[in-house]
C-alpha cells in the first residue's frame, strides 16, 4: 500500500499522521508512506531580485519546518517514510498530481488547516483532493 | 485637527492599511531573503541600512507621485496602472525566473534591498497617493504603516496571504475601487462627470472593483489550466546538495 499524507504543519495534519501510525499494521504490506508539503510559490518580482538558490533554500527550510513534527512522530515509532517538498501556487493540484504520478493507493489528510476560521476563508484543499484524486481519501478532523 | 473627525478620513485610512498589507508582502520577503546568506551580525545591519534607505526612497517617491497626480490626465494614467497592479495580484505567475544574484557581502545585500524596494514600492506609493487624495496626514500615515510592514514582517504577510487568499482578492478589489475613484476625479473627466453623469462617482469605482476581481480570477484560472501539466520538482531530495557555482 502506498499512502500519501499531505502535511501543512497544522494540528489536523498531524492528527492525520497519528491516524496512519495507529492503523499502519492494518494496511497490506509493504506499506510505503509519503509525507508531502507544498510551499506557496513566491511571486516573480521576488525572483528578479533574489538569487534562485536562495529562494530554493528558503522553501526547503520552510518545508522542513512544516514537516518536522510529522517526521518526529514517525521517527519515534520507527516507521519508515519519504518526505517531499514541492513549490506551487495550488497545493491541491500538487497532491492530486502526486497521487496520479506515483500511483498512490490512499490519501490520509487533515480535513482542514489551521482553525475553523481558516476553513471558511481558505478554500478547502481537502475538498479539492477529495474531488479529483481518484483514490480513497481519508479525512481526519 | 478636524480632519480626523470625518468618517471619510477613517475609511481612507482603512483603505490605505489594506493596500499597504497586500502590496508590502513581496517587498518584505525580498528584504528577508536578500540578507539570508550573510552572517547573522551582518544580516541585521543589511536590514537596518537597506530599510533605512528604502524609507528615504519611499518618501521621495511619494512626493513625486503626489505632484505628478496633480497634472491633468495623469490620474487616468495612474488609475490604469493601479488596475493593472490589481489584476496582477490575482494572477499566479510562476516564480523563480532566478535573475537575482546571491549577495555574498553586506554591500551586495543592501544594494539588492534598495533596487528591489525602488521597483517594488512604486505600486505601493501610487496606491497610497491615490487613496490619500492630497491629504498630507493620510500620506504620512500611509507611509508610516507601510514602512514597518515592509521592514519587520519578513515572510509573515506572505504566509498570511497564502493561507487566506481572500485577503488578496479583497485587496485587488480595493485597488480597483481606488483606481475608479481616481478616474472620476481627474481634471479632464471631473467637470464632465459633474455635469452629465454624477452617478458615475459611485458606479465607476464599484464597477472597477468588480471588473478587477472578475478579470483577475479569469486570468488565474486560465494560467492554472495552462500550467496544469508542469512536472513536480521535489526539492526535499536536494536538501543537502552543495550550492551551484556562479
For residue B89, list its beta bridge partners.
Answer: none
Q: How many CB atoms lie within 10 A of CB B73?
A: 11
* Cell 495580484 -> residue: B89
Question: Model confidence over A44-67: pLDDT tens digits?
Answer: 677 777 777 888 888 898 899 989
* Domain parsing of chain A, residue ranges: 2-140
Tell if the CB–CB gap between A63 and B238 is shorter than 8 Å: no
Question: Model confidence over A73-116: pLDDT tens digits?
Answer: 989 988 889 999 998 877 888 889 999 989 999 999 888 665 55
Q: Assign residue A9 a region (left: φ > 0; alpha: ψ between -120 and 50; beta: otherwise).
A: left
Q: Residue range B84-99: average pLDDT?
A: 71
Tell if the CB–CB gap between A63 and B236 is shorter than 8 Å: yes
Contact of A105 with A3, CB cutoff 8 Å: yes
What residues in B contact A12, CB-CB < 8 Å? none
Chain A residues with at least one Cβ partner in B under 8 Å: 37, 40-60, 62-64, 67, 83-87, 89-90, 93-94, 97-98, 101, 113-114, 118, 121-123
* Cell 476563508 -> residue: A121
The verdict on residue B241 lying in a domain is: no
ipTM score over 0.90, yes or no: no
The verdict on residue B77 lying in a domain is: yes
Name the pTM for this structure: 0.78
The verdict on residue B112 lying in a domain is: yes
For residue A88, list its beta bridge partners.
Answer: A40
| Range A2-140: architecture per CATH | 3-Layer(aba) Sandwich (3.40)
> Backbone phi, then psi, for A106, in 5-degree steps?
-155, 145
Nearest to B206 by CA among B181, B188, B183: B181
Give the range of the structural domain holding residue B112, as residue numbers without chain letter: 2-227
Tell if the CB–CB gap between A53 and B243 is shorter than 8 Å: yes
Give the DSSP per-residue string, A50-94: SBHHHHHHHHHHHHHHHHHHHHHHHHHTT---EEEEEEES-HHHH
Structural domain total, chain B = 1
Q: Residue range B48-59: average pLDDT?
A: 81
Report the C-alpha dihedral over residues B51, B57, B63, B67, rounded to 10 degrees: -140
B215: Cβ contacts below 8 Å, ≥ 6 apart: B87
Amino acid at each position: 500500500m502506498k499512502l500519501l499524507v499531505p502535511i501543512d504543519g497544522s494540528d489536523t495534519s498531524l492528527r492525520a499522521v497519528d491516524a496512519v501510525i495507529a492503523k499502519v499494521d492494518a494496511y497490506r504490506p509493504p506499506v510505503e508512506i509519503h509525507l508531502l508539503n507544498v510551499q506557496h510559490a513566491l511571486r516573480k518580482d521576488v525572483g528578479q531580485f533574489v538569487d534562485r538558490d536562495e529562494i530554493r533554500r528558503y522553501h526547503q527550510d520552510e518545508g522542513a519546518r512544516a514537516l518536522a513534527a510529522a517526521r518526529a512522530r514517525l521517527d519515534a515509532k520507527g516507521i519508515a517514510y519519504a518526505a517531499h517538498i514541492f513549490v506551487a501556487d495550488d497545493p491541491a493540484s500538487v497532491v492530486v498530481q502526486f497521487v496520479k504520478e506515483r500511483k498512490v493507493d490512499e490519501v490520509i489528510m487533515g480535513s482542514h488547516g489551521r482553525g475553523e476560521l481558516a476553513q471558511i476563508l481558505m478554500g478547502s484543499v481537502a475538498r479539492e483532493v477529495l474531488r479529483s484524486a481518484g483514490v480513497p481519501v481519508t479525512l481526519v478532523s | 485637527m478636524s480632519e480626523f473627525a470625518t468618517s471619510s478620513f477613517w475609511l481612507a485610512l482603512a483603505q490605505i492599511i489594506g493596500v499597504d498589507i497586500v502590496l508590502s508582502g513581496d517587498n518584505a520577503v525580498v528584504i528577508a531573503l536578500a540578507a539570508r546568506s550573510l552572517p547573522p551580525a551582518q544580516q541585521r545591519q543589511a536590514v537596518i541600512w537597506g530599510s533605512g534607505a528604502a524609507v528615504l526612497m519611499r518618501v521621495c517617491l511619494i512626493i513625486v507621485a503626489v505632484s505628478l497626480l496633480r497634472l491633468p490626465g495623469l490620474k487616468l494614467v495612474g488609475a490604469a496602472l493601479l488596475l493593472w497592479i490589481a489584476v496582477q495580484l490575482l494572477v499566479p505567475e510562476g516564480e523563480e525566473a532566478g535573475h537575482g544574484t546571491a549577495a555574498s557581502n553586506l554591500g551586495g545585500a543592501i544594494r539588492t534591498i534598495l533596487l528591489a524596494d525602488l521597483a517594488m514600492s512604486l505600486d505601493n506609493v501610487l496606491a497610497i497617493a491615490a487613496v490619500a487624495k492630497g491629504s498630507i496626514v493620510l500620506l504620512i500615515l500611509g507611509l508610516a504603516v507601510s514602512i514597518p510592514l515592509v521592514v519587520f514582517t519578513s515572510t509573515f504577510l506572505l504566509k498570511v496571504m497564502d493561507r487566506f487568499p481572500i485577503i488578496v482578492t479583497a485587496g485587488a478589489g480595493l485597488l480597483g475601487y481606488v483606481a475608479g475613484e481616481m478616474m472620476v476625479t481627474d481634471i479632464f473627466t471631473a467637470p464632465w462627470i459633474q455635469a452629465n453623469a454624477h452617478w458615475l462617482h459611485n458606479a465607476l469605482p464599484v464597477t472597477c472593483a468588480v471588473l478587477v476581481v472578475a478579470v483577475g480570477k479569469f486570468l488565474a484560472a486560465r494560467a492554472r489550466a495552462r500550467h496544469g501539466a508542469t512536472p513536480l520538482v521535489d526539492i526535499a531530495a536536494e536538501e543537502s546538495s552543495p550550492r551551484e557555482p556562479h
